[in-house]
Amino acid sequence: MKILRYAIAAVILLIFAVTILTYPQLPDPIAAHWNAAGEADGTMSKFWGLALIPALSLGLTALFFVLPRIDPLRKNYEAFRSYYEGMILVFQGYMLVIQLLIIVWNLGYRISPNTVFPPLIGVLFIYIGFMIEHAEQNWFVGIRTPWTLSSATVWKKTHELGGKLFKIAGIIALAGLLVPQYAIWFVLVPGLSVGIVTVVYSYLIYRRETSLS
């Protein structure tokens, strides 16, 4: 567990380090937003454009570590804490790559986000799939519907299905590399589909469980 936390801290420090080291070489303003075709279509001042990702990385990590402490079901985190903190590490890796993309683009190396986002989102989805398969009932992490929070059985069955679907969604997202001009759809459609399917499934399982009781 300590190794995971040290790794999380190291990635956050790396995000800050590369930002500070490259700051003098970057133009002002910088490109900070790209459209679905992978073309830069928005700018920000250099300071705020480069400060956003480090600030989010630090702030969200602090939030991720606070949430288990304020959750009424905090004891359940012990069953999947390594997966939970692993998710924080994967998320920080995601933020690091995004910051590097912003920096590299503005240094003149035009790497299309459409070749970067599919593997990033794919890995994130796949890891989430593994994590939620091990997640126990809680108020902040997983597929939280009124029905999963009302029944441990519904929670377990929904997360078993959700874990498999997230892994499939991750593989589909990775396939977006083959058609970068449509990469956004390889991410959005599977992600939204998993959300809809798992919510409906949790309701149906709950209805079946209550009808039998």
Mean pLDDT, rounded, of the chain: 93
> 73 versus 180: which is more confidently predicted?
73
Report the pLDDT value the prediction gives residue 41, as an integer from 0 to 100.
84
Report the pLDDT value the prediction gives residue 112, as an integer from 0 to 100.
85
- Arithmetic mean of pLDDT, 172-197: 92
- Cα(37)–Cα(110) distance, integer angstroms: 13
Angle at 82 between CA 77 and CA 85, to 5 degrees: 85
Sequence spans of domains, the chain: 1-109, 112-213
- Is residue 44 a contact partner of residue 102, using CB atoms and an 8 Å limit? no
Report the pLDDT value the prediction gives residue 213, as an integer from 0 to 100.
61
Q: Rg of the chain over CA atoms, in angstroms?
A: 19
Give counts: helices (H), strands (E), the chain.
Answer: 6, 2
Q: What is the pTM of this model?
A: 0.90
Secondary structure element (H or E) that encloses residue 31, with its range: strand 30-34
Q: How many CB atoms lie within 10 A of CB 47?
A: 12
What's the pLDDT tens digit per position in 31-61? 988 887 778 888 899 999 999 999 999 999 9
